[in-house]
Structure 1
Amino acid sequence: MSLQLDWSNEQDKMDIPEAWIARLQQLLQLAGEAEGLAEGQVDLTFVDDEEIHRLNREYRSIDRPTDVLSFAMQEDGEGEPDIIFEVESEEEEDPFSGMLGDIIISVETAQRQSEEYGHSLEREIGFLFVHGFLHLIGYDHGDEESEAVMTAKQEAVLQKAGLPR
């Protein structure tokens, strides 16, 4: 197994070009390689501002849209619901063992941010995806030091993929 990307489009504001998906698969491989991670699955969903607003309110108690949300499967966070899986035989595996988590991206917010920052929408979607991936594997940006580390990692992957600022 290698790093796998499964994606879905649950919005109708814009088409998602196949070239973007190929680019996101490339970014997943590069980010995984940079972190020494060779296996796992990431689920990506494209949504609109209304849906990401709902999710942000429901799961983070923040009543506004955001650009990206990450839901890590391998994280034991406080307040996270327990996943209970009953194993009926010793040979049966946990079906979630290879799942890194879900990344949700609002294409509407990504579009606005790409215009605001003066770079392509492809670059913004790539940035949000790598940002979300880093959250899935345990990075955070709660203080200046951890934000600097995460930013440097994101930019290194984007540069390597040919998506500079």
Structure 2
Amino acid sequence: MSTFLHTVQRKRWPRLVAAFLAFPPAGLLGLAAAGGRVDDPVAALVGGAVTGLVIGAAQALAGGLPQLWTVATSAGMAAGLTVGATAVGFGTGLGDLVVQGAITGLVVGPAQALVLSGRGRVIWVIAAPALWALGWLVTTLAGVDVSRQCTVFGGSGALVHSALAGLLLIRIEK
């Protein structure tokens, strides 16, 4: 990689990581749109769409991603959270949330991958379930009150997710 490209990518990673700041307000807006809890499929669908819209827009803006990333993230979160939360019976135990996160990532990853180019798509699809599951794992272990049935993991999980996702995006988009 040329020195110029290396410098550009090195400056891009902190911006991608900073997008983690969008997760908490995205979750609050999504939770409000869902009626206060993700405790049924309609709440998950609506809450996931709103949460994904805010997260996707922040990631696209911060990371220089195409605007279609926003739409893909919103659609993926809507469908993924609906399937994931329903699959675990809207449970909030550690295992439930890790599974819910993995399922959400199974849907968000391919949706976002449609916006990426080349072989990076496959890598993103494979990594997304682990990144989303890890977000819930970190948030739960950090002691965040996950019993509120939120649409997305908290700031601690978002920071870890964003740091790793940012590194991966930079690597696969070389």
TM-score by length of 2: 0.33
TM-score by length of 1: 0.34
Structure richer in strand, relative to its length? 1
Structure richer in helix, relative to its length? 2
Q: Which has the larger radius of gyration?
A: 1
